[in-house]
Structure 1
Amino acid sequence: MLDEVLQDLEAESAALDRLVSGLSPQEWSHPTLAPGWTVAHQIAHLHWTDEVATLANADPDRFYARLAESMDDPLTYVDRAAAAGVAPPDELLPRWRAGRRALIDALKAVPNNEKRPWFGTAMSPVSSATGRMMETWAHGRDIADTFPDQSREYAQPTARLRHVAFIGYRTIGHGFESHGRPAPTEPFRVELIMPDREQLAFGPEAAGNRVTGPILDFCLLVTQRRHPADLALQASGDEANAWLTVAQAFAGPPGEKREPKAARNR
């Protein structure tokens, strides 16, 4: 299972690498849809997170020291770390590539089923790799949305999205809790259409709360890259409908959600 996720993580990273490698140095300074973040911020953040994940898996003591640094101002720590890593592409790209390789080596070295620390939890190598897959795709999507004419190939959905969707399903309760609401008491059923038109499903078939639609739209929702009004997702059940407004696959406080397209175009 770990080898499968790592292969998909490497493929997703390589696809994003091809996209950003084709951008000019000036385009690396272009703002993305994430407020205050340029393309360089996006790649610097991915490098920083890879580096921290490598510490968590290879040297937990150093990870805990890094974690302690975030406690002085946890709400701005991620933004500050991204800003600190911004550099010209000829510096940042090799740094990111080396960090990706180091993380994969660190994950492969963790004994089977052993968990290592992470922000607010502990994770197995498979979970850590799946999380990196989710983040790489989400931040890559910000860059692709910034340069749609140059990113048609990258923006096409792939079977790799199944990892992002899995995290989205597993974090349904977290989405509610991060918004200060109790987690659902009834199960959810999620049915998604894959790029090859096959169905990917999570949860019991008889669940009263259901979410259905294209896997791309589901992943855009749980990573907060689109407003629910702009997605072809259908929900049935009170908790399922409420979840569309709080979905959040990533750790930490609620993110700054995207406005619906109609509001952005006013």
Structure 2
Amino acid sequence: MVDVADVLADYEAEARVLDRLVAELPAGDWARETPAPGWSIAHQIGHLAWTDAVVIDAAAAANGDAAAFAALSAGLQAGTVTIDSGAAELATLPPAELLELWRDGRRRMAASLREVAPGAKLPWFGPPMSPASMATARIMETWAHGQDIADALGATREPSGRLRHIAHLAVRTRNFAFTLHKLSPPDAEFRVELSGPAGEIWAWGPEDAVECVSGTAEDFCLLATQRRHRDDLALTAVGENAEKWLDIVQAFAGPPGEGRRAAVSPEAQA
């Protein structure tokens, strides 16, 4: 069984990486556009802060106080609340205030996951999630939105072993991705072999699987979070179903997004 404390330690490390990217930004740079259409750096941090607050409500519901999460869920279903509106509202805050709100919220969110009763699961917008699974999802979101911010700033982040959490989430949700696209999930498991940042191999699925996916963990995570187009990544699929999966893979809940366009090659620009 995965220890939620261990996953949260990695979450907090990932959050600190992003915090360092934005901590010293001039206020005007928070309005800088990111690769996500219509989202500035402030929207990205606002979204993380908003979602952390939702997790806190979900953790309370897991411990028996369902009112706050139920109200939010009803608002989302009715369309009176949306993910975009949550990010947009917080993006209007002064950057220093937004930064402190995110910092405080992520601390309280982590504490709320540590306090979920043993065996309890958090309600969510898909299947209920264990505290460890929710912490894994927060690593994924923090890394993915951090990538948008890094791209907007022209910054480079060193890949870390924390990518394994994101890759694991994408592998575990393979059938969800097929179902989301109204496709029948394959009966057989795939073999997934990814090279980690230190050159180690992370593997899932049987060694003798007919269909397989391979490449670097960073490229796989960029694809699974829709931060890069498949054509811009060094990933290999063997088998018809594995090929299809790389076209639709996603590590996040909710409907599939539009993803990113392929980068224009120097030859195409000539």
The alignment's TM-score, normalised by the length of structure 2, stands at 0.93
Specify the SS of the correspondent of 1:142.
helix
Specify the SS of the correspondent of 1:118.
coil
Alignment of 1:96 with 2:102, yes or no, is yes
Q: Which runs of 5+ in 1 are unaligned?
A: none
Q: Quick one: distance in 2 between partners of 1:112 and 1:200?
A: 29
- 1:5 corresponds in structure 2 to 7
Q: Quick one: distance in 1 between partners of 2:25 and 2:202?
A: 34
Deviation at 1:73, TM superposition (A): 2.5
1:69 to 55, 66, 75: 75
Counterpart code for 1:129? A
Q: Quick one: distance in 2 between partners of 1:158 and 1:197?
A: 11
- 2:25 corresponds in structure 1 to 23
Q: Quick one: distance in 2 between partners of 1:25 and 1:9?
A: 26
Deviation at 1:185, TM superposition (A): 1.8
Q: Quick one: distance in 2 between partners of 1:178 and 1:262?
A: 29
Alignment of 1:160 with 2:165, yes or no, is no
Summarize the alignment of residues 1-266 of structure 1 with structure 2, pairs less than 5 Å apart.
Answer: 1-59=3-61, 60-73=66-79, 77-86=82-91, 87-148=93-154, 151-152=155-156, 155-262=157-264
The alignment's TM-score, normalised by the length of structure 1, stands at 0.94
Deviation at 1:228, TM superposition (A): 0.7
Q: Percent identity?
A: 48
Deviation at 1:263, TM superposition (A): 7.3
Once superposed, which parts of structure 1, at least 4 consecutive aligned residues long, lie more than 6 Å away?
none
Counterpart code for 2:251? A
Specify the SS of the correspondent of 1:123.
coil
Q: Quick one: distance in 1 between partners of 2:79 and 2:182?
A: 20
With 241-250 and 58-67 compared, the bigger mean Cα shift is at: 58-67
Q: Deviations over 1:150-177 (max 9, x none)?
A: x33xx11000111001101011111112
Q: Quick one: distance in 1 between partners of 2:210 and 2:36?
A: 35
Q: Quick one: distance in 1 between partners of 2:120 and 2:211?
A: 33
Distance 1:61-1:263 versus aligned 2 partners, 3 A rule: farther
